[in-house]
Amino acid sequence: MSHVSSATPGVQAAELSEGFGLPSAWWRPARVAAVSSAGPAVAIETGGHGAFYALLAFTIILLISPQTWFPFLKVFRIALLAAGVAMAAHVIERTAKRQAITPLSPEIGIAFVLVAWAILTLPMSVWPGGSVRVLTDHYLKAIAFFWLLGAIVNSPHRLRLMAWTLTLCSVPLSATGVANYLSGATLSTGVSGFTRIAGYGGVLTENPNDLALMLNLIIPIAGSLVLGERGIRRLIVMGIMVLSAAAVVLTFSRAGFLTLAATFVLFLAMLVRQKSAGVAILLMLAAVAAPFALPSGYTDRLSTITNIEQDRTGSAQGRWSDLQVAAGVIAKSPLIGAGIGQDLLVMNEARGEDEWTSVHNAYLQYGVDLGIPGLLLFAWLHLTCLRAARAVDRRASIDPVVRDLQPLACGLQISLIAFGVAAMFHPIAYQFYFFSVAGLAVALRNTCRLTLARQA
């Protein structure tokens, strides 16, 4: 979290300018006017509503996955349709106004370089056809979503609507998880007496671990609404957060617990910094009461985080072994890797047995698949997005013009850190999870730029 120094606002703004990728005197009205008319730094406009509402529709479809519950919708390819409309409308709107289709930003540049590296390594892949499929079926779609978020969500109003959309979409996800636990809708773990709840059923939340991950990424964004809303809306969001946290616990996901615990500590620190004593006290009371409400067997499950030999499912032991195997695979091919999406093949070969599972670590996935360059590019992208959210947080703490952006800036920082924790335990390198919150960080920074330019 940021610390506000005693320097003057002008000096502070100069210190923060590096985080926005702008010249050191970018906050001055004359300079902003010049950049607005000639340079790309603030060459972004709110634009028409068609692209934005299509993007909202795609986000809802991505999370709720209505085609899973109503199979006839699969014929219409509603997710692809919504994404296509969003991209087409965005390009048409920008072209008509003679504006840049893609606002320049370090994050977008790094993401494009990462994709370019994945494409360049295709001929050297252990299975080129499989790599092409992962690239086209998963990765490019996630990158496109990342780009659309950064390009289209460029006003405080749109950011708030997107935050509310994610928060409200978490309700059916978490409610289904709780209902599955209460009704006994479980999945077999292969161990007598130990079962896990079924997931929501969508693409991103099909199993309990993924359900916990998705909810953990949304909880901090909902937390930002707690700070930004008042009255009944604040109470509604707090209730949603409690429901989501309960669902995370009921998944019995160890990674989910660690991520939730990290989110709790960071959110509490944010509340202290924001001087929101009332919400902080409620959060502490909930933490004190939580141990008495834990489901049977939960503490035993958590104990295997440190005592992995006691895990009856064998997953903890297998994942620890796989970390070592993955490190060995990277050492053998540090530059090129096995090809995007091929960690499953080379890990299986390195183990010498037919397990056919990916390494449960997103960073190591990049290292195994795309070599050390891919690993470093993804880590750089992650840190750059975190830095963008932090820069807005610091700027908003000293500038009333963008003060309303501070809660979401804090929430996105926590979400990105939460992903960093969860990524250590999930094979999610090429999925939407990271690119959803990272795209919002880019959108937040672009919104801050535009808002400041308009007020200059």
Residue 139 corresponds to which tokens in the numbers above?
Answer: 């990765």
- Predicted local confidence at residue 146, as pLDDT: 97
Distance, CA of 150 to CA of 100 (rounded, Å): 13
Residue 219 corresponds to which tokens in the numbers above?
Answer: 């909880």
Question: pTM score > 0.85 for this model?
Answer: yes
Do residues 146 and 168 make contact, with C-beta atoms less than 8 angstroms apart? no
Distance, CA of 379 to CA of 56 (rounded, Å): 28
- Report, as ranges of residue numbers, the positions in the chain whose pLDDT lies below 70: 1-48, 456
HEC profile for the chain? CCCCCCCCHHHHHHHHHHHHCCCCCCCCHHHHHHHHHHCCCCCCCCCCCHHHHHHHHHHHHHHHCHHHHCHHHHHHCHHHHHHHHHHHHHHHHHHHCCCCCCCCCHHHHHHHHHHHHHHHCHHHCCCHHHHHHHHHHHHHHHHHHHHHHHHHCCCHHHHHHHHHHHHHHHHHHHHHHHHHHHHCCEEEEEECCEEEECCCCCCCCCCHHHHHHHHHHHHHHHHHHHHHCCHHHHHHHHHHHHHHHHHHHHCCCHHHHHHHHHHHHHHHHHHHHCCCHHHHHHHHHHHHHHHHHCCCCHHHHHHCCCCHHHCCCCHHHHHHHHHHHHHHHHHHCCCCCCCCCCHHHHHHHHHCCCCCCCCCCHHHHHHHHHHHHHHHHHHHHHHHHHHHHHHHHHHHHHCHHHHHHHHHHHHHHHHHHHHHHHCCCCCCCCCHHHHHHHHHHHHHHHHHHHHHHHHC
- Predicted local confidence at residue 33, as pLDDT: 35
- Predicted local confidence at residue 28, as pLDDT: 35
- Predicted local confidence at residue 2, as pLDDT: 41
Distance, CA of 247 to CA of 245 (rounded, Å): 5
Note the maximum CA span of the chain.
Answer: 71
- Predicted local confidence at residue 21, as pLDDT: 45
- Predicted local confidence at residue 38, as pLDDT: 30
